[in-house]
Structures are given as structure tokens and as C-alpha cells.
Amino acid sequence: MEVLEFLRWPFLASLILTGIHAYLGVHVVERGVIFVDLALAQIAALGATVAILVGMDPHGGTSYWISLGFTFLGAAIFALARTRRGHIPQEAFIGIAYAVASAAAILAMSKATGETEHLKDMLVGNILAVSKAEVERTALLYGGIGLFHYLFRKKFLLISMHPEEAEAQGVSIRLWDFLFYASFGFVVTSSVAIAGVLLVFCYLIVPSVGAMLFADRIGPRLAIGWTMGTLVSALGVYLSVVLDLPTGATIVCTFGGVLVLMFLVHLIVRRRAAARALEGARPASANNRDAALGGRGEETLSRPR
């Protein structure tokens, strides 16, 4: 019972992360901007580093808003980087932003050596240390962002899955791209502080990829992604406590192991379906052949000699 009580808030935090990131992951995978999460997280870390560098409390509200401001700047860059002709992949701009933000953070950290441990926690995360207040605050924030995406879900899904159709309808792609990345920035800035960059990336991408193995429509993909994220979170947190392992790394490895199992199941299901289709095709082809031979026989009998 003591273990369950200790794991309650970390598990609830992981459920909240699963809920919002599995949905956002659908958009990220469809857009083909897989590493946007890492880039925005690194830009947020750069903002936190700058706040520390000028003498602000790393746990204070001002540092959070500076970090969020940097994230909004990254969101604007990514929205503008989506060119109409697409001759330069948007992922290229995202990779460049990640590299520059990482280098700038290293330069800033070299001048703020006294707070490097906090910056390490921001990148690596420690979900076991999450408090009740953090969980409640994160739930309210993500609930508001989820409501925003639900109200405008048609536009967001249209731009992510059918950008040509959205442009033909006169939708301002850059505006809605900025709104998407800005809301994404709210999520990343808060999630990274709780779980770290690697774990947040897994919550974003792995459930969506696993769901795509078995479903094409958005509804089933979300259901599979949420189920996968919930089960992996529970198993990963439990294993980290029982085996005395780092929680974030344990959940990340659990995500990887479960994804491999899902891929193997996908291969088995696909091969069985292909075998059934082949078996069904054989009697049909045999019947067609018999019918063709029978038709030729009748034609021969009815042909005048």
C-alpha cells in the first residue's frame, strides 16, 4: 500500500502526459515533423538558462514565462518555415533550431555553472518527484489546451492531414500553424519540467506510431495510443520502483519494448490476413477456370461440324 501511495501522483502525471501528447503526436506524425518536440523543448531549456543567467529563480514564475516566450518564438519560426512549395523540408528548419538552441544553452550554462543541476533535471526529468500541486496545475493547463484543440479540431486536422485542401479553402495555414505550435509550446514547457525531454518525446511519438500499426482513422488511433500510454506508464513506474531504476529511462525503455511487441503482433496479423486472402483467392480462381473450361466445352458442342 505504501508503494501504491508513493506512485499515485507520478502515475496520475503520466496519465495526463499520455492524454495530451498522444493526441498531439497524431498531428506531429501526420505533419512529418517528428523532432519538433525535441526542438521546442531545447528552446524552452534555452529560455530557462537565460533566466538563470540574469539571476532569476529557476523555480519562479518569471523564469517559466521567459521559457514560454522563447518557445513562442520557436513556434513562430516553425510556422514561417512551412513554405508553400515545400522545396526545403520543414524538418530541416526544426533540426537547425534544435542544434542552435542546444549550442546557445551550452554557452549560457558555461556562465551559470551554479544552476546546472536544475537544467539537468529539466532535460532528464524526475517524474517520481512530482507533487500534487504540479499535477493539479498541469491538469488544468492541459485541459484548457485540450478544449482549445477540440473546438478547432477540424481546422487543425485539415491542416495536418490535408494541407492542400486547407489552402484551397482559403485557410490561413501559417496562422493556424502558429496556433498549433504555440499551444504545443505550452505543453512542452510544462511537460519537460516534469518528465524531461526524452520521456516527453516518447509520450508524443511512440503511442501514435504504435496506433498507426493497427488503425488509420483518428478515433481508433487515439484509443489505441491512450491505452498504450496508460499501460506503459503504469508498468514503467512500477518497474522503476521495484528494480530501483531511474523512472524516466525505465518508462522510455518500456515504451520501446512494448512498441517492438506491437510491431511483431502487427506482422503476425498481417501475414495471417494475407494467407486468408490467398486461400480465398484460390477457390475463386479455380471456379473461374472451371467455368471457362465449361464454357469452351459448350461452345465446342454447339459449334456446327
Range with lowest mean pLDDT among 2-6, 10-14, 51-55, 277-281? 2-6
| 213 domain residue, yes or no | no
| 109 domain residue, yes or no | yes
| 266 domain residue, yes or no | no
| 96 domain residue, yes or no | yes
List CB contacts of 275: < 8 A, sequence separation 6 or more: none
What the block records as the C-alpha cell of 66 is 521567459
| 255 domain residue, yes or no | no
- 3-state SS class at 82: coil
Question: Helices 116-124 and 173-195 sit at what angle, rounded to 10 degrees?
Answer: 110
CATH number for the domain including 133?
Answer: 1.10.3470.10
| 55 domain residue, yes or no | yes
What the block records as the C-alpha cell of 69 is 516566450
Whole-angstrom distance between the N-terminal and C-terminal Cα of the chain? 95
Residue 246 parent element (H or E): none
In this structure, is the dihedral angle defined by the CA atoms of residues 82, 86, 92 and 96, taken in order, positive or negative?
A: negative
pLDDT category at 76 given cuts 50, 70, 90 is confident
pLDDT category at 301 given cuts 50, 70, 90 is very low
| 237 domain residue, yes or no | no
Instruction: Return the higher-pLDDT residue of 32 and 222.
Output: 222
What is the C-alpha to C-alpha distance for residues 127 and 157, in angstroms, rounded to an integer? 31
Residue 35 parent element (H or E): none
Report which DSSP code applies to 131: -
* The CA-based dihedral angle spanning residues 117, 247, 12, 192, taken in that order and rounded to the nearest 10 degrees: 40
State the chain's mean pLDDT as an integer. Answer: 80
The total number of structural domains that make up the chain: 1
Report which DSSP code applies to 217: S
Res 118 pLDDT > 70: no
What is the C-alpha to C-alpha distance for residues 67 and 53, in angstroms, rounded to an integer? 12
Q: pTM for the full model?
A: 0.76
pLDDT category at 169 given cuts 50, 70, 90 is confident
Instruction: Return the higher-pLDDT residue of 241 and 206.
Output: 206
Minimal CA–CA distance to 13: which of 258, 248, 259, 183? 248
- Is 21 in contact with 203 (CB distance < 8 Å)? yes
Residue 224 confidence (pLDDT): 92
- Is 197 in contact with 27 (CB distance < 8 Å)? no
Instruction: Return the higher-pLDDT residue of 102 and 302.
Output: 102
| 249 domain residue, yes or no | no
Neighbours of 28 (CB within 10 A): 20
**Could you list the residue range(s) of the whole structural domain that residue 116 is in?**
2-205
